[in-house]
Amino acid sequence: MAKDRVTVIDIARAAGVSKSTVSLVLQASPLVNETTRAKVNAVIRDLGYVYNRGAANLRQSNSKSKIIGIVVNDLTNSFFAELAVGVDMVVQSAGYVQFLANTAESVDRQREVISSMREHGISGLILSPARGTDANDLKPLVASGIPVVNVVRQVAGAKVSSLISDNHAGMRDAVRHLAGLGHHCIAFLGGFPDTAVFNERLQGYRDALSDMDLALHDELVVSSAPSRAGGVAAIERALLLRERPTAAVCFNDAVAFGVCDGLRAHRLDPGEDFAVIGFDDVIEAQTAVPALTTISVDPQGMGRRAAQLLLKQINAGRADAEAIVSSVRLVVRQSCGAAIDKRERLSLL
């Protein structure tokens, strides 16, 4: 097995030029003569040279490493998997490679992986912070001038850019749609109450209810883990309420799928007997049966935009924090059913 690395010096020797020249052709500099460039490139191929970015990086400590980090709080959630794919797309085509780490909502883990990434010299970081992340956790990073873009969740007080979706407006639109279909008793299911995202969505729910002059009962808000299993649990509890809801907006699509599962377990037909709206529009939402009405967030697009924002900051050398809230739209499919009162619906059309 080829043991010792081929270096720029080996190339130089074999091609009969100096290492400086080889370095120039590696950087595709216009300074070098075409014929020598060709010769050097040929040797590079022949010897199977592989560029050592570590060494290069050491010298030119300014422009950095061509590595970006992305750390998410739950990779098993397909929302984040798709987000990562979106990020990967744009960083890959910009010649970067991504460190991807999963924190599983552990701040400790998060601290570890971020510091490990720093040691490796990432040029930027895309972060979906674990629950309980403090602004101080990001302090050293931003102080060292490494651009950071927060996605999905914000960290109060951190001076970093963020890209989050319009949780308030999305949930408001969902509730309005259900109310427009004639539902009076609408539950809010799933999610952990100690997150900003939860509260933004909840506020959208509340505001829509009061806009539509519907009463707001606290027991209609049932929190749970933001997962399929959590959705099952939440609908179980909701179905036991005195005033039983006829519709629900869910914290996210995973919860919504769980809610559909739970309904079926009770011999209720989601979309017919009970209206369900999700949030995120993950890829399965359109192919599920019934197809899920949901708030489209386009996680992959979000990943792409986050990556673009980050690359912009990296290239700008030093970009100041900007907070982007990306708009969101209701995608009506089958799971929210038709209007309760058909005549009313006809009159609306």
Residue ranges in contact with DNA by CB under 7 A:
4-5, 7-9, 17-21, 23-24, 26-27, 31-34, 36, 49, 51-52, 55-56, 58-61, 63
Burial pattern 122-152, b for ≥16 Cβ within 10 A else e, equals: bbbbbbbbbbebeeebbeebbeeebbbbbbb
Q: In the numeric block, which tokens belong to residue 106? A: 């552990």
- Quick one: what does residue 278 bind among DNA, a copy of itself, none, with the CB cut-off 5 to 8 Å set by partner type? none
Cβ of residue 10: shortest distance to DNA, in angstroms?
Answer: 8
Binding mask 223-262 toward a copy of itself (x if CB under 8 A, else -) reads: -----xx--x------------------------xx-xxx
| DSSP-derived secondary structure letter, 274 | B
Residue 253, class by beta-carbon neighbours within 10 Å (0-12 exposed, 13-18 middle, 19+ buried)?
buried
- Quick one: what does residue 315 bind among a copy of itself, DNA, none, with the CB cut-off 5 to 8 Å set by partner type? none
Which residue of 21, 73, 102, 296 would you call a contact of a copy of itself, by CB under 8 A? 102
Judge contact between 107 and 308, C-beta under 8 A.
no
- Quick one: what does residue 319 bind among DNA, a copy of itself, none, with the CB cut-off 5 to 8 Å set by partner type? none
Burial pattern 165-201, b for ≥16 Cβ within 10 A else e, equals: bbbbbbbbbbbbbbbebbbebbbbbbbeeebbbbebb
Residue type at 258 in one-letter notation: G
Which residue ranges make up the site for a copy of itself (CB under 8 A)?
1-3, 5, 48, 50-55, 57-58, 61, 65-67, 75-76, 78, 81-82, 84-85, 88, 92, 95, 97-102, 104, 109, 112-113, 115-121, 140, 143-145, 228-229, 232, 257-258, 260-262, 264-265, 283-284, 287-289, 318
